[in-house]
Amino acid sequence: MPAFTSLSSQFFLIVLLSFILLSKARAQELHILTWSGYAPDSVLELFEKETGIQVKVTLTNNADIIDQLRANRGAGYDLVQPSMDQIAWSQGQYQIYKPIDMSRIDLSRIDPSLLKVTSDNVELDGSVYGLPHVWGTNGLIAQTSNPETSLSFKDLCSSEYQGKAAMRLDRPTLIGFAFALGEDPFSAYSNRSQYRKILSRVSDKLIRCRNNLKTYWQGGESLLNQFRKGELSLATGWDAGGWKLHRETGDFNYVAPESGALGWIDTFALPAQSKNDNAAYQWINFVMRPEIAARITEASGQFTASAGSEEYVDHRLAKSYRNSFSLDAIKNIKWFPSQPEGISDLEQQALNQIRTAL
């Protein structure tokens, strides 16, 4: 009997020790669901060296983040990076996130204006469900060396650019043209009938515009190649693409449209059943250091919400950014608000109508 008891005790100790070791190993891992370029190898290495925490990165997009968290009931990852406008509605429907503990965030490292924009869109019942990380805009890429160039989405349909213009049939193009036509699509989000009327007006404009275009682009690198070959002078596009061309040639750049660039923010959010919040908060505070954030900007081509990081970014990229955004242009950014249910269906109907007419 004593021998049996001794063996039982030893087995119990082995099981307990194994559990402790497994728990410790899990505590030293951070599982992130994020976008390409947001967790570059150089940053992962520095973080692991400083903290001892190994980061496991899975690349994703907005639809995949929501699908995975819904399927796993908010489990499987410690940190995810949905766009700002995708958080409130998905949290309201599926409860896939947990609130951010703001006391664990070094707020001095976050640009206050971007923090406010994000908080206003991701706050539910007094709790904040996201923090700003990487941000960018949709607008125009143009053949120009003049930093004060003034252009509108409507210029894509002007005779000046006939056969040298391109656009992508997507949501930002619909919304960009709506603003250019004097509408305020975001304020119409709460009125489906009004939003449908705005989209109808935009659809009519884009259908009439089709003969002015050289192409409807799909792949980003393909679009840039057409500029490089001299086939295009103006197109809808994103800021990082325009800055890339500007760094290469100086002949092209991103231009914030007269009616305002369309701004998006990819956030930090905690899944509802995340297991390693401590590591997630360490990662957030780490990557928001200006010198670390600059590495992410170099990898992704986009700026982050890290206060003061611009001075660490390659001077050519910083110059392209300053050429694109005057203080007034920054103030005029139209940030994508929380997207209510049913809006994407109306937008898809409008896009289908335009495609059918081509």
SS3 call for 346: helix
| 284 C-beta neighbours (distance < 10 Å), count | 20
- The confidence score (pLDDT) of residue 77 equals 97
- Tens of pLDDT, residue by residue over 126-146, are 999 999 999 999 999 999 877
Each residue of 324-356: b (16+ CB within 10 Å) or e? bbeeebeebbbbbebbeeebeebbeebbeebee
Q: Where in the chain is the domain with CATH 3.40.190.10?
A: 2-135+264-334, 137-263+339-357
- The confidence score (pLDDT) of residue 21 equals 44
- The confidence score (pLDDT) of residue 202 equals 98
- The confidence score (pLDDT) of residue 115 equals 97
| 119 C-beta neighbours (distance < 10 Å), count | 17
**pLDDT confidence band for 109 (50 / 70 / 90):** very high
Residue 52 to residue 221: CA distance in whole angstroms? 37
- The confidence score (pLDDT) of residue 152 equals 97
Is 80 exceeded by the pLDDT of residue 252? yes
**pLDDT confidence band for 147 (50 / 70 / 90):** low
- Tens of pLDDT, residue by residue over 195-224, are 999 999 999 999 999 999 999 999 889 999
CATH number of 137-263+339-357: 3.40.190.10
- The confidence score (pLDDT) of residue 193 equals 96
Residue 73 to residue 96: CA distance in whole angstroms? 6
Residue 169 to residue 236: CA distance in whole angstroms? 10
Question: Is residue 335 a contact partner of residue 263, using CB atoms and an 8 Å limit?
Answer: yes
Query: CATH fold of 2-135+264-334, please?
Result: D-Maltodextrin-Binding Protein; domain 2 (3.40.190)
Residue 311 to residue 324: CA distance in whole angstroms? 17
Computed over every residue of the chain, the mean pLDDT equals: 92
- Tens of pLDDT, residue by residue over 336-350, are 999 888 899 999 999
Residues 6+ apart with CB under 8 A from 145: 250, 251, 253
Rg of the chain over Cα atoms, rounded to whole angstroms, equals: 24
How many angstroms separate the Cα of 194 from the Cα of each of 67, 205, 237, 346? 30, 17, 27, 11
Is 60 exceeded by the pLDDT of residue 11? no
- The confidence score (pLDDT) of residue 269 equals 98
Q: What is the mean pLDDT of residues 84-93?
A: 95
Q: What is the mean pLDDT of residues 248-275?
A: 96
Q: Give the pair of three-digit tokens for residue 335.
A: 């940030």
**pLDDT confidence band for 12 (50 / 70 / 90):** low
| DSSP conformation letters of 170-227 | SHHHHHHHHHHTT--GGGGTT-HHHHHHHHHHHHHHHHHHGGGEEEE---HHHHHHHH
What is the percent of the chain where pLDDT is above 90?
84
pTM of the predicted model as reported, rounded to 2 decimal places: 0.88
Most confident of 20-29, 37-46, 337-346: 37-46
Provide the residue type at 227 as one letter.
F
Residue 264's H or E segment, with its range, is strand 262-268
Is 90 exceeded by the pLDDT of residue 22? no
Please give the biggest Cα pair distance in the chain: 97
Residue 77 has φ and ψ, to the nearest 5°, of -140, 160
Is 70 exceeded by the pLDDT of residue 95? yes
- The confidence score (pLDDT) of residue 146 equals 75
Q: What is the mean pLDDT of residues 5-29?
A: 55
Is 80 exceeded by the pLDDT of residue 25? no
Q: What is the mean pLDDT of residues 103-116?
A: 97
SS3 call for 106: coil
Is 60 exceeded by the pLDDT of residue 13? no
Identify which of 357, 350, 308, 326 has the alpha carbon closest to the alpha carbon of residue 175.
Answer: 350
Q: Give the pair of three-digit tokens for residue 250.
A: 């100086």
Question: Is residue 305 a contact partner of residue 292, using CB atoms and an 8 Å limit?
Answer: no
Residue 90 to residue 247: CA distance in whole angstroms? 38
**pLDDT confidence band for 8 (50 / 70 / 90):** low
Site of tokens 């404009």: 205
